């Protein structure tokens, strides 16, 4: 399983997202040895993180162990770690902790993060939906606001229950709708807060929600969100974030302790180390076969890739998966001395859910161009996400959680999951960074640090 000792062609894949996993699967049928490097030993199913943050799903159900997903792929090894440095000329990766990986072909699929556009305070005060623990952190924080407000219902109108969501793309919309539903559960939990104000304000510089959707879907989503009590501030952005309020570009100020940042996707800062031209959002320019112009052995795929095309491709799972599969095609061709056809994006369409019983679906023209919303849109969304969510237990858990939520309006996972009383032993200290129990977390992606500096 150690490619560096193998005589066969060695492939290193960086990142186990939709792109990296698709690449690993497509390479599992080729006579190559693959090492998949990720900071986690599991694949995070990003599309359902908002359900972890809003207490629909347990954290573990929005992810699945990589080695279980790759059990059939005997030539793929998983290496948990983060990249410290590329040594492209020597075709070598340096990992943190001193390890190295030598490769003949490198696939960089480190994905993207959120950018704060340099808006002051955002990188320090905003929450993002990017990791399992990040999602649990949002859940804990929101639940804690209600706990503290319940102790002083009179003073609960100071905005501590209000939430500002920046960005009205699918993530922002899904988060807003699901938070609104969580709020109604929490009002039942805390009768003394029945009349307290708890607003969800969605801020979007573009003139509408779901900007990348068609006019009908946009109007439907706007109507549904408003009907459910979400306050829309369209044509407005966040100007500055503080611990207890957010200032908007239109000069207004919203008292809140919870800013969810769902805007400004930015490709991983690893791209800067590849010595290739960077495009919009720090995406790396690649050829029609998804490798660097200067280094055919280095592929860049998914959110990080700026592939040739009339328009930049959307940074979504579909594109990443198709790019990952294409890497397999190109490598197969190369190994047999042939040429692969250029990569083409086959857009299947897009879908988003606004909340219980409400979704929008837009199939691409090649899939019939069908566009519909409402309850059918919701069902379609559930079905597609059940199909793509990895792990049979996760699917069962998601399906039962959705049905339970729809019929009982309960959120069973609304636990403030954090350290309780200090206990005997390390078991209780796992969340303490100083403890051995929380060491070894990795990253390929220093973006966070950039943002810390920006903060």
Residues with catalytic function: 174
Task: Single out the residue of 20, 27, 36, 39 in contact with a copy of itself (rule: CB under 8 A).
Answer: 39
Which residue is it, tokens 């900007």?
Answer: 211
Contact 164, 207 (CB under 8 A): no
Select the residue interacting with a copy of itself from 9, 10, 25, 82 (CB under 8 A): 82
64 binds a copy of itself (CB under 8 A): yes
The residue among 58 and 377 lying less far from a copy of itself, judged by its C-beta, is: 58
Subset of 174-203 contacting a copy of itself (CB under 8 A): 188-192
Q: Give least dist CB 176 to a copy of itself, A.
A: 16
Residue 379's nearest CA partner among 407, 364, 360 is: 360
352: how many CB neighbours lie within 10 A of its CB? 26
Cβ(281)–Cβ(265) under 8 Å?
Answer: yes
Residue closer to a copy of itself (CB basis): 12 or 286: 12
Site for a copy of itself in 260-279 (CB under 8 A): 261
CB atoms within 10 A of CB 72: 8
**Phi/psi-derived region of residue 110, left when phi > 0, alpha when psi is between -120 and 50, beta in every other case:** alpha
List the one residue from 35, 46, 75, 140 that touches a copy of itself (CB under 8 A): 140
- What letter would DSSP give residue 265? E
Options 28, 30, 60, 242; binder of a copy of itself; rule CB under 8 A: 60
Supply the DSSP symbol for 235: T
Per DSSP bridges, beta strands 258-261 and 349-355 are unpaired
Residue 242 within binding range of a copy of itself, rule CB under 8 A = no
Candidates 23, 34, 284, 397: give the one binding a copy of itself (CB under 8 A): 397
- Kind plus residue range of the DSSP H or E element containing 63: strand 63-65
Stretch touching a copy of itself by CB under 8 A, among 78-86, 209-217, 306-314, 378-386: 78-86
Q: To the nearest 10°, the Cα dihedral for 99, 102, 103, 109?
A: 20
Stretch of 229-237, 300-308, 314-322, 419-427 lying at the interface with a copy of itself (CB under 8 A):
419-427
Residue among 37, 132, 352, 389 that touches a copy of itself (CB under 8 A): 132
418 in contact with a copy of itself (CB under 8 A)? yes
Pick the piece of the chain touching a copy of itself (CB under 8 A) from 101-109, 128-136, 208-216, 330-338.
128-136
Under rule CB under 8 A, residue 127 binds a copy of itself: yes
Q: What is the footprint of a copy of itself within residues 351-370 (CB under 8 A)?
A: none
CA distances from 375 to 51, 121, 247, 268 (A): 19, 39, 36, 36
H/E run at residue 5: none
Residue 400 touching a copy of itself (CB under 8 A): yes
Structure tokens at 173: 């919309």
Question: Is residue 433 involved in binding a copy of itself (CB under 8 A)?
Answer: yes
Of 365 and 453, nearer to a copy of itself (C-beta) is 453
User: 295 exposed, middle or buried (CB, 10 Å; 0-12, 13-18, 19+)?
Assistant: middle
Interface with a copy of itself (CB under 8 A), residue from 26, 112, 113, 321: 113
- Least separation, in Å, of the C-beta of 378 and a copy of itself? 20
Task: Specify which residues 285 forms β-bridges with.
Answer: 306
Considering only residues 316 through 335, tell me which ones interact with a copy of itself, judged by CB under 8 A: none
């Amino acid at each position: 399983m150690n490619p560096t000792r193998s005589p066969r062609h060695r492939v290193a894949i960086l990142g186990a997202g939709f792109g990296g996993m698709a690449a690993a699967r497509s390479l599992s049928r080729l006579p190559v040895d693959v090492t998949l490097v990720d900071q986690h030993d599991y694949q995070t199913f990003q599309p359902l993180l908002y359900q972890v943050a809003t207490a629909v799903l347990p954290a573990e159900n929005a992810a699945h162990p990589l080695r279980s997903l790759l059990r059939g792929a005997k030539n793929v090894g998983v290496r948990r770690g983060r990249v410290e440095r590329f040594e492209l000329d020597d075709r070598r990766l340096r990992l943190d902790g001193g390890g190295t990986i030598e490769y003949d072909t490198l696939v960089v699929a480190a994905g993207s993060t959120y950018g704060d556009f340099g808006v002051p305070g955002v990188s320090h005060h905003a929450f993002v939906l990017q990791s399992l623990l990040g999602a649990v952190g949002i859940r804990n924080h929101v639940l804690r606001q209600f706990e503290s407000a319940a102790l002083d219902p009179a003073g609960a109108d100071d905005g501590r229950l209000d939430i500002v969501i920046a960005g009205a793309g699918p993530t922002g919309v899904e988060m807003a709708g699901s938070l609104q539903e969580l709020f109604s559960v929490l009002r039942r939990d805390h009768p003394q807060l029945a009349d307290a104000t708890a607003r969800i304000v969605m801020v979007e510089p573009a003139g509408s929600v779901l900007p990348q959707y068609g006019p009908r879907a946009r109007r439907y989503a706007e109507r549904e969100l408003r009907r459910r009590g979400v306050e829309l501030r369209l044509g407005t952005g966040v100007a500055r974030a503080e611990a207890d309020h957010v200032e908007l570009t239109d000069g207004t100020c919203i008292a809140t302790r919870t800013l969810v940042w769902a805007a400004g996707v930015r490709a991983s800062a690893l791209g800067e180390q590849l010595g290739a031209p960077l495009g919009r959002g720090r995406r790396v320019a690649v050829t029609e076969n998804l490798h660097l112009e200067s280094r055919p052995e280095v592929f860049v795929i998914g959110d990080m890739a700026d592939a040739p095309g009339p328009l930049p491709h959307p940074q979504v799972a579909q594109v990443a998966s198709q790019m990952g599969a294409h890497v397999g095609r190109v490598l197969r061709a190369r190994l047999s001395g042939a040429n692969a056809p250029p990569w083409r994006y086959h857009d299947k369409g897009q879908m988003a859910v606004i909340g219980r019983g409400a979704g929008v679906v837009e199939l691409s023209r090649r899939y019939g161009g069908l566009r519909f919303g409402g309850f059918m849109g919701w069902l379609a969304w559930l079905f597609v996400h059940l199909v793509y969510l990895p792990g049979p237990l996760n699917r069962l858990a998601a399906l039962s959680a959705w049905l339970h939520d729809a019929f009982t309006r309960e959120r069973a996972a609304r636990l403030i999951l954090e350290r309780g009383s200090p206990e005997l032993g390390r078991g209780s200290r796992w969340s303490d960074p100083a403890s051995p129990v929380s060491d070894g977390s990795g990253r390929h992606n220093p973006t966070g640090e950039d943002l810390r500096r920006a903060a």
